[in-house]
Amino acid sequence: MKRTKTSKAWMMEHVNDAWVQRAKAEGYRSRAAFKLMEIDERDHLLKPGMVVVDLGAAPGSWSQVAARRAGKNGRVLALDLLPIEPLAGVEFIQGDFLDDEVLRRLEDSLHGEPVDAVLSDIAPNMSGIELADQARSIHLAELALEFAVQHLRPGGSFLVKVFQGQGFMEFREAAARHFASLQVRKPKASRDRSAEVYLLGLGRRSA
């Protein structure tokens, strides 16, 4: 009964959410688009002609923003376990980021081309067990960082969602070693009560 009440409350909040309404009005697939746009407008993350990889892309709102800002001379490669309706300017691979074969498909699609920006809005399927969920979230962030370190060109950027909690500071310190600067961002479109923040690494250091 409690779960049903909670679900109904969440649905009412979601339907009445100003960011959700704005996303529908402006043709974005989710409110998350505004998180990326706010960060981009502040930190100038996305530029025309860029090669961008979007990890955990479904339903596609970050890819929408990236494709529009990278323009016709850019490339956006998106990956998710869930299907995504086709998007103009976005090459989509469906599969599990944890699967080595899927990761190889993504790497093959780059054709050896260095990446300008890696975006990761991946979150695990939540079990409700806080410690387990946090551990899974940090693990996904670590894998995204590993991918970014391997494929970003020198000077490239990395944006990743992380939940504050156990392992957060250790991950932040690990990420900071690879970039000229590492910033913490909490966009207005993030719900205040959410523990999510975004770590933004700018200026990938040369290996």
**Which residues are part of the catalytic machinery?**
161
Q: How far is CA 108 from CA 78, 93, 101, 102, 151, in A?
A: 13, 11, 10, 10, 12
Report the number of secondary-structure helices (H) and strands (E) in the chain: 7, 7
Cα angle 28-32-38, degrees, rounded to a multiple of 5? 100
